[in-house]
Amino acid sequence: MLAALTALDEGRTPDRPVYREAVRTLLTVLAERAPGRSVEVRVPPYGAVQCVPGPRHTRGTPPNVVEMAPATWLELATGRLSWAQAVTDGRVQVSGNRADLSDHLPL
């Protein structure tokens, strides 16, 4: 994960395997700290998890979705970017009334 953050800090795009591992690791931590299946967090093309307690979603498009770019996810998860700022800047797309991760970030 450190390699991915260092690359981003230097204005470079991390190597794909490094980026993928960092994104997936932090998505896993989110799912462990906010267990549930009411919100789907998507970070294409590297991963997605369901998390946050509440009504369980089982098929089709979930009603509560959070989607963002990998760099945004790493910044949010590590506290380099606040949830409010990411939403205000349009760096996070949210749908559904449960799609607010501010209580769960940073990790």
Share above pLDDT 90 across residues of the chain, in percent, rounded to a whole number: 84
Q: Tell whether the model's pLDDT for residue 10 goes beyond 80.
A: yes
- Average pLDDT, integer, range 94-107: 94
- Average pLDDT, integer, range 64-72: 97
- Do residues 51 and 36 make contact, with C-beta atoms less than 8 angstroms apart? yes
Q: Tell whether the model's pLDDT for residue 23 goes beyond 90.
A: yes
Would you call 50 helix, strand, or coil by DSSP? strand
pTM: 0.93
Q: Which of 83, 96, 106 is nearest to 40 (CA)?
A: 96
CA 87/CA 25 separation, integer angstroms: 22
- Average pLDDT, integer, range 29-51: 96
CA 80/CA 71 separation, integer angstroms: 11
Q: Tell whether the model's pLDDT for residue 43 goes beyond 80.
A: yes
